[in-house]
Structure 1
């Protein structure tokens, strides 16, 4: 394996910093549940509260964190605010997590 140049290492360090920040953001169970639900399409706060059984104060706090980090975006329609995942990298990571932890196991693995 060729050795990395100083420039390569600087880029790798910056990428590792970004990746670690995103993983820390997603490591909160409530935020992860919110992102999983929002990966299926935009949703308003009331629907998220009912679907996920997360109380409104906690829900608002966690949505605020995700919004401040630029991971979700909002759209207002009348009195309702709709949230959606706005970072494609997050959607890709959520898909990987779904495949690893949520997707039904193939038949050959289920019967072991």
Structure 2
């Protein structure tokens, strides 16, 4: 993916600057939401598909309360979407942003250096 980063210049209009600030605010909220190890691991597990809260508890070796708290934050930030089936609640990624972010994190921190 080839992209051009914005360059803040002295001659930018107020509208252009406001747009950059708005995007920075959105990006900051996203980064805060994924900055917790538990939330990051939940997203990693959801990349492969929808999971129930019980499945996530087992995969993370975590208590239900802790998993639910992290899912609540991810839901609040719009990163995951719940679905109820009887007593079970299932979660999936809301869109492809978390997956794309995880690919970047993997590339930056997980691949072996040459």
Distance 2:73 2:19 in 1: 27
Alpha carbons 1:44, 1:82 under 8 Å: kept: yes
State whether structure 2 residue 28 is matched by structure 1 residue 20: yes
- In structure 2, the residue matched to 1:80 is 88
Distance 1:64 1:31 in 2: 10
Aligned residues, how many?
Answer: 106
Stretches of structure 1 that go unaligned for 5 or more consecutive residues are none
2:77 aligned residue (69, 72, 77): 69
Greater helix content: 1
How well do the aligned residues superpose, as a CA RMSD in angstroms?
1.7
Alpha carbons 1:30, 1:54 under 8 Å: kept: no
Distance 2:88 2:109 in 1: 32
Distance 1:87 1:28 in 2: 19
**Displacement, 1:31?**
0.7
Alpha carbons 2:42, 2:56 under 8 Å: kept: yes
Stretches of structure 2 that go unaligned for 5 or more consecutive residues are 1-6
**Displacement, 1:84?**
0.6
- In structure 1, the residue matched to 2:108 is 100
Distance 2:86 2:68 in 1: 18
- TM (norm. structure 1) is 0.84
Distance 1:77 1:55 in 2: 21
- TM (norm. structure 2) is 0.82
